[in-house]
Structure 1
């Protein structure tokens, strides 16, 4: 892992109450890196069993259950952010800069990453590190 990845994963404790907030902060770096503005936050309506990502006042999807390891939780939050942004803006996010295709969350060598299917499958960047 490089230095930034070490800092992301060292500070990330999956059983801490703030684990979802930490994961959202990591994913939000990618949102801002791609020029998307608007408030992102976590909401837990109802019985508190599920959490959703709210973007610009709306949310979408099946919700997040805060369990699993670091990669599972970060992947769940990244997918929730992606799903919510795309549903509310009607635009694909994030997009591979090389192939102009939508990226998908995956895991590679212990990191949660954004992957592209252009020219076979390649990793565009670890989640939180999109250029």
Structure 2
């Protein structure tokens, strides 16, 4: 990507962020919407919403119409707010980690893990930092848009932790005691569970409740 293109990308992203914040805080500045539409038009991103904003005088567009057009433009560009703009997504992930952390005791891992925003990834996502300092992010971080649904966030986080521990130790966890098979995080009926494929598939335990089945172990 040339320096000019990179500059345009950065400018468009800055405008998208301003428009998003304006929508979120109910303080939308029409000038930011017009500027974003013009920037997108210059890049041949000619959606109906972009053309309508560019072709109409802002004074003729009611606040409600401008809000609707701004939302359509952000939808058209696929803009996704990160954890910094949508901190509630990060809170969903932290809540999910408190649940998954209860299962780590069955693997002999103690201490309170923390969510760590990974600024060195693109797009920026989140991983987990264990109490011993180990960072778990195998398979890529948890992205902000994965945290809109608590069950999805919990399932994704459990899977990432499981795969990261396997990569770190080459020890399978969790294991179904009945079938001696590795179980996997899965979303079933709107809930995050540990699912075993044995005998056609069955629930081992909800995520966060492994200790009821496997007990607590010592030593990582």
Q: TM-score, normalised by structure 1?
A: 0.78
Provide Cα deviations, 1:61-111, integer angstroms capped at 9, x if missing partner: 211013331111111111111111111111111111211111111122221
Gaps of 5+ in 1: 1-13
Q: Secondary structure at the match of 2:162?
A: helix
Larger Rg: 2
When the two structures are aligned, how many residues end up with a matched partner? 117
Q: Give, in whole Å, the separation in 1 of the partners of 2:127 and 2:204.
A: 25
Q: Is the 8 A contact 2:127 2:135 kept in 1?
A: no
Q: Is the 8 A contact 1:53 1:84 kept in 2?
A: no
Q: Is the 8 A contact 2:186 2:195 kept in 1?
A: yes
Q: Give, in whole Å, the separation in 2 of the partners of 1:114 and 1:122.
A: 9
Residue 37 in structure 1 maps to residue 109 in structure 2: yes
Bigger share in strand: 1
Provide Cα deviations, 1:18-55, integer angstroms capped at 9, x if missing partner: 211110110111111x1422553322232672111234
Highest RCO, 1 vs 2 (Cα 8 Å, sep ≥ 6): 1
Change (3 A) 1:89 1:69: same
Aligned partner of 1:102 in structure 2 is 182
CA RMSD of aligned residues (A): 2.1
Q: TM-score, normalised by structure 2?
A: 0.48
Gaps of 5+ in 2: 1-86, 213-220
